[in-house]
Amino acid sequence: MIPYLETLDISPASSNISIYSRSHHPGIVRSGMPHVMVIDHAGVIQYQGAPNGIRDLVKRLLKKVPKRYLGKLPYKGETLKIAKSIEAGATVGRQLKKLEELSGTDSEASDLIQKIRQRYDKRLHAALHLFPENTSVALRQIKSLAIELKGSVYGDEIQRLYSRKKNDPITKRLLTLSKRYQKYKKNYEKLLRDGEIPAGQHTTAENLVNKLHTLAKDASGTPLSPRIMDYLQGL
């Protein structure tokens, strides 16, 4: 089902829109194969049946999705105003700072802070799970979160975490090794012509392969070493 939907230029990962297949839901009223359900950001079934022609429906639904969906907003006053600003695309860090200032006297502000932190905690944990296999990607994602939440107490916490991770000796070593790997790999692949090393470039190619073997030894004990060896075995 998913490959079929992708042929329609519809991604199952479309922002806040879920496309379910092979699933059971109490709202199902039809059957047949293939069968698809489109559930919007609020959890409401917007369509079920054959997947043909749902591209336009998904596009219409996406136009109605807030830039940041916070779920139900049982708030009032200033907290509700801030929540709607966040959904409309306002800078999260600035709005979160306003909520932090309100939280001492407004329980609704504290509730919204908790809701926002839970959502960003998921993204933070996903980034942390990338260590140490994808150190550079993990650092970029954590830095992005710190920038998005800049100005808030939570943003400061993530910035401190980013600084600790970035300056950690093990992280620095992995980044250095990874940069060397990417450099050698890129230079080797530049030599290839239709999957082959052309005449006159064999010595250069052999030197790069030797450097990759040396790098694999230097990276021994890290997740990078088996990755380099897998690459070398494929040459």
State residue 43's pLDDT score: 80
State residue 30's pLDDT score: 58
Residue among 13, 53, 19 nearest 36 (CA): 19
State residue 5's pLDDT score: 44
Rounded to the nearest angstrom, the gap between the alpha carbon of residue 31 and the centroid of all alpha carbons in its chain is: 34
pTM (2 d.p.): 0.69
State residue 24's pLDDT score: 55
DSSP string, 61-83: HHHHS-SS--------HHHHHHH
State residue 165's pLDDT score: 95
State residue 53's pLDDT score: 79
Residue among 95, 27, 44 nearest 67 (CA): 95
State residue 133's pLDDT score: 84
Q: What are phi and psi of 100, to 5 degrees?
A: -60, -35
**Amino acid at residue number 129:** H
Q: What is the pLDDT along the chain (235 residues), one digit of tens a residue?
A: 444 444 444 444 444 445 455 555 556 565 566 778 888 888 888 888 888 878 899 889 888 888 888 888 999 999 999 999 999 999 999 999 999 999 999 999 999 999 999 999 999 999 999 988 889 999 999 999 999 999 999 999 999 999 999 999 999 999 999 999 999 999 999 999 888 999 899 999 999 999 999 999 999 999 899 999 999 999 8
pLDDT tens-place string over residues 92-141: 999 999 999 999 999 999 999 999 999 999 999 999 999 888 899 999 99
State residue 27's pLDDT score: 60
Residue showing tokens 């790069």: 208
Query: Domain residue spans in the chain?
Result: 2-64, 77-167, 176-233
State residue 190's pLDDT score: 94
